[in-house]
Amino acid sequence: MAHDDSPAPAALPASTPAPASTPAPASTPTPTPTPAPAPAPAPASRTALTRALDTIRSLRAQLDAQRADQPLAVVGVGLRLPGGIDDLDGYWTALAAGRDLVTPLSQTRMGPFADQWAGLHRKGGFLDEVMDFDAGFFGIGGREARRLDPQHRLLLEVAWEALEDAALPPERLTETRTGFFVGITNQDYDDWRPADVDAVWGIGNAICYSAGRVAFTLGLTGPAMAVDTSCSSSLVAVHLARQALLRGECEVALAAGVNLIVSPASTRLISQSGLLAPDGLCKPFDARANGFTRSEGCGIVVLKRLADARRDNDRIHAVIAGSALNQDGRSASITAPNVRSQIDVIAAALADAGLTAADIGHLEAHGTGTALGDPIEMDAIATVLGRPRGGRRLTVGSVKSNLGHLESAAGMAGLLKAILCVQRRAVPPLVHFRTLNPRLDLAGTGIAIPTEVEAWSPDDGRYAGVSSFGMSGTNAHVIVGPADVGAVVGAGVVVGAGAGEGAAAGGAEGAA
């Protein structure tokens, strides 16, 4: 430490009287006395304050845990599917009747590309009209509307319809923490690019603006994002919406998927991969399976935390009890499925929901009807859900047999079918199924392929699983249950109707 070399002040002798204070002149203001510091809390007060803060922190942690552990309620649905389907009743009618909604592409839907469609697969699940759009209703000018990808237009319309179904007037959501998550991959409309392309065209067609457009139009201030994981995009969007709700990032969330085919270019590329069925029929798990057919559509679900939906007296279509994502990693090729990853993602969703294999009565499969994909997927289903179920029946289906493959919206089509199955306590037939693919071993699994509408016994489990696997390797699985699966106790505490203690561990064991 440095020393101070300055002389020390002389000390006053002890006998020297202190100098008398000099009176301040009259003009000098009297100094304001400094307030004495507040006395420190007595030890008992400090202890009480600490206890109170600890209690607040503990209650907050409990509420966060309850929020993160509860199911989500599906309170609204909007959809546009092939065959003119635009509501859940129409969807169920088509499924129960075993309708094949794949048709030839009409001349009007070919647009300016009729010559380029020659020689390509022209059968698919097509919507009737995709260019019609009431731009004025959404406050969009004619020039901007013409430069807006029809997929973005469709999202605006179906989001509005989903909110109407949820009895949530869109104007009530303005400046609220409402999220929007959409699975979208295709960019066919870029082939309609005009000669005078400008920034308006760029904003109207970039994938990221699909979510931003809906959030902007409705005034939503929660998270909004577009998700592209190929075929699993829309189910990944559901998982992300669920996570945002459980983390408290939003109070309401819309999860969506959309896919339109408005140019032959993408069909030409997929044809070159050899994945399309020559006869235009998707035949999942059948001995004749030889590929899928392309399809269009849009589906949107409006989600809330279950306790919030019950507090608000919402009509609840179904609940989402759990979800999980993972990746194939290094499989046979970048587009090849990985059975271990499929096993793991189903088991993880079961554990997330606190359920066991015995709680799942129906599995809505990815089911593309391909020689490579079907055996791998059924092997994963049998491993996690089939063999550990103690003889209970598990039906397996794929809506691609009815609609074709909706690609980025495929997971949403499967989710909506699963919602209908848990609502109706019935399972529709798997269209085009005749003979089980000989490469599928279902012995001792309890797995059955429905060939007609079957009643769903609660003894076989009350939940449905939905799988969606992206060609880029991203896998998603979501578990759906009926609206009455939980009972609210106290302030937002949800007691589930699963298998009880140890259910999560049992779900994980099912994958071993």
- Do the beta carbons of residue 277 and residue 368 sit within 8 Å? no
In the chain, DSSP finds a helix count (H) and a strand count (E) of 15, 17
Rounded to the nearest 5°, which phi and psi values hold at 130?
Answer: -120, -5
The strand pairing partners of 179, in sequence order, are: 253
Whether 405 sits among the annotated catalytic residues: the reply is yes
Catalytic residue among 405, 421, 432, 477: 405
Catalytic residue among 231, 250, 282, 298: 231
CA distance 489 to 281: 49
- For residue 249, the 8-state DSSP code is S
The kind and range of the H/E element at 420 are helix 410-424
The encoded tokens of residue 377 equal 């997927």
Handedness of CA 101, 105, 107, 113 (dihedral sign): positive
Interaxial angle between packed helices 410-424 and 233-246, expressed in degrees from 0 to 180 and rounded to the nearest 10: 70
- Do the beta carbons of residue 154 and residue 128 sit within 8 Å? no
CA distance 407 to 417: 16
Catalytic residue among 317, 366, 432, 477: 366
CA distance 471 to 129: 28
Nearest to 243 by CA among 382, 31, 69: 69
DSSP letters, 133-196, are: --GGGGT--HHHHHTS-HHHHHHHHHHHHHHHHTT--GGGGTTB-EEEEEE----GGGGG--TT
The kind and range of the H/E element at 49 are helix 43-69
User: In 12-48, which positions are buried (b, 16+ CB within 10 angstroms) versus exposed (e)?
Assistant: eeeeeeeeeeeeeeeeeeeeeeeeeeeeeeeeeeeee
- For residue 384, the 8-state DSSP code is I
Cβ neighbours around 379 below 10 Å, total: 17
Name residue 330's amino acid: R
Annotated catalytic sites, by residue?
231, 366, 405
